[in-house]
Structure 1
C-alpha cells in the first residue's frame, strides 16, 4: 500500500529539486535568454538557412549538391558563443538578472514588441534629417557663390604622384 504522506513528501522534494535545477542557470544561459528575449540578436538556426538561401539566390548556377555539402559547415553556434561572451563581459550576472526581470515585465515586452518599428522610424528620421542638412548646406554655399558648376579649382592641388 502507498503511504499518501510519503508520496506527498517525495513529490514536494522532487518539485523543489526540479525548481532549483531549473532556476540555477549559468551566467551564459542567462545571457542567452536575455539576448533571445530582447530580440537584440536572432539566436536561431534559421539564420544559417537564410544565409545559405541568399547565396543560392546570388549564385544560381551552383548545383544543389554543392549547397547540401556546405549546409553542415555553416554553424551559427560559434557566433552565438561570441555574442554571449560580449554581453557577459559588459554586464555582471546581477545586471543580467535585472535585464531579464525587465524584459519579462509588461513594459519590457512592449519595448521588445515596438523595437523594430522604432528602429525603422529612427532610421527614416535620421536619413531625412541628413538630406535636410545636405540641402541646407548646399543651398547656403550656392547662394554665397561657393558652389559652381564646374567647381572652382582647388587653391592647393595635391602634388602629382611620382611613379617608381
Structure 2
C-alpha cells in the first residue's frame, strides 16, 4: 500500500510538473509568435543570404533558393524557447504577452525593426568614428608609425 501511495504521488507530481512545463512552453511560443521573433530572425537570415549572393555571384540561384527553404521561423522559435524559459518565469511571460497585446506593445512590435535598423546604422557610424580617433591618437603619440 505504501509503494502504491508513493507511486501515485510521483505520477501526480510528474504529470503536474510536466503540464506546467508545457503550459510555460506554449506561453513562450505564443509570446515569440506575437512579437514576430521567428519571422524577424528569418528576415535576418534572408538578408545574410542576399549578402552571400552578392559576394558569390557565380553560385546558381537554385543553391540559394534551396538554402532559404531550410530557414523557417518554427525552427528558430524552438531554439529560442529554452532561453526564455531560463530567464523568465511563467508569470513574467504572461505579463510580457499582455504588454505586447496592448496598444503600446503593438507599437513597439511594429517599430522595432526600424528602431533596430537605425540604431545599427548610428552604432556603425559611432564605432567607425571611435576607431578612427583611436588610430589617430595612437599615431599622434607614436605608438603607430606615421605613413
Closer/same/farther in 2, CA of residues 29 and 85 from structure 1, 3 Å limit: same
- Could you give the per-residue CA deviations for residues 98-121 of structure 1, whole angstroms, max 9, x where no partner exists? 001100001111111110111112
When you count helix as a share of all residues, which structure comes out higher?
2
Q: Any idea what SS the aligned residue of 1:28 has? A: helix
Correspondence for 2:82: 85
Gaps of 5+ in 1: 1-24, 151-164
Gaps of 5+ in 2: 1-21
- The count of corresponding residues between Structure 1 and Structure 2 is 112
1:98 to 95, 98, 123: 95
The TM-score normalised by the length of structure 2 is 0.59
Closer/same/farther in 2, CA of residues 129 and 79 from structure 1, 3 Å limit: closer
Q: Which stretches of structure 1, 4 residues or more, deviate above 6 A after TM superposition?
A: none
- Contact kept? 2:31, 2:97, Cα under 8 Å: yes
Whichever of the two has the greater Rg, that structure is 1
Alpha-carbon separation, structure 1, partners of 2:62 and 2:110? 39
Correspondence for 1:144: 141
- Could you give the per-residue CA deviations for residues 59-86 of structure 1, whole angstroms, max 9, x where no partner exists? 42869xxx5xxx6xx4744543232222
